[in-house]
Structure 1
Amino acid sequence: MGVPDGLPCVFCDIVAGRAEASVPYEDEAVVVIMDIHPVAPGDALVVPRAHAVGLEDLDEETSTRMWRIGHRLARALRLSRLRCEGVNVFLADGEAACQQVFHVHLHVFPRHRGDGFRLQVDPISRERRLLDQDASALRAALYALCPGPPSTG
């Protein structure tokens, strides 16, 4: 998939060396960059080198690498000199999920009491019958992606 409206992709520019970035880690599959609009000092983004708009466009091997490096970053934040009492890991996939840069990326950022960051949600309540229907729909879709013996968890 391309970038919406044919706009240049800032993450592709960073990966190609055409744009500046502060890079604490990189390997053959991903580049970690410091967020220029951080939630807190230490806010980092795990960006795949290959352009992919969202998770659907990303191969599982690269996705696995992103999450593995995200896990390492979370551990590193706790070991660093940065203020870190907790860690959030966040991925927005699609405009409806508040994705702003349409090159998939994983946010990993430190948290501390009183940092001002909030997720405001209005959770809904679902009856068990409806939850079972949702589970069945997901089970069928998972089977379509990877046929094999069904698992009911």
Structure 2
Amino acid sequence: MHDPNCLFCKIIAGQIPSKKVYEDEGIFAFHDIHPWAPVHFLMLPKLHLPSMAQVTMEHAGLLGRMLALAPQLALEQGCNPYPEGGFRVMVNTGRDGGQEVHHLHIHVIGGPRPWLKG
């Protein structure tokens, strides 16, 4: 499912440029245009899901793959290894949760501190 009015769907489709981190048949990752930290990228399902509020057990495999991929991509993008290093995984959901683009996305944030936020 694709939403022709969704900013992230347009990025996934290549209609809007991005600095790609990773892509496979179901996942797309790219650098945040306003990074909070030295490493800050977004991981999205290619399937248009507005938020975590719409996730069902049907999506468990996809989200599991995204979370399992996050450590590898974090290291590749410059995060230091655990336990001295590390990264943050964050999902904003809805207006009260700080979500700005209504396409489910996972922020992966890390690198040496201090960060701009957090």
TM-score normalized with structure 1 length: 0.62
Structure 2 equivalent of residue 34 of structure 1:
31
For 1:38, give the aligned amino acid.
P
Aligned residue among 8, 11, 19 for 1:11:
8
| Aligned counterpart, 1:66 | 63
- Give per-residue Cα distances to partners, 1:65-105, cap 9 Å, x unaligned: 23433332223423x37253220000011111111111111
Q: Identify the match of residue 21 of structure 2 among 21, 24, 28.
A: 24
Greater percentage in helix: 1
Question: Which of 1 and 2 has greater Rg?
Answer: 1
Residue 22 to residue 47, structure 1, CA distance change in 2 (3 Å): same
Q: Note the alpha carbon deviations across 1:3-48, whole angstroms, 9 max, x for none.
A: 8xxx931101011221111212111211111111111233111111
RMSD: 2.6
Structure with the larger RCO, 1 or 2 (CA within 8 Å, 6+ apart): 2
Q: Structure 2 unaligned segments of length 5 or more: list them.
A: none
Counterparts of 1:104-143 in structure 2, within 5 Å, are 104-118=104-118
Cα 1:59/1:27, change in 2 over 3 Å: farther
CA contact (8 A) 1:74 1:109 kept: no
Runs of 4+ in 1 over 4 A off after TM superposition: none
- Judged with a 3 Å threshold, the aligned counterparts in structure 2 of structure 1 residues 116 and 20 are, in CA distance, closer, same or farther, namely closer
More strand by share: 2
Cα drift, residue 56 of structure 1: 3.0
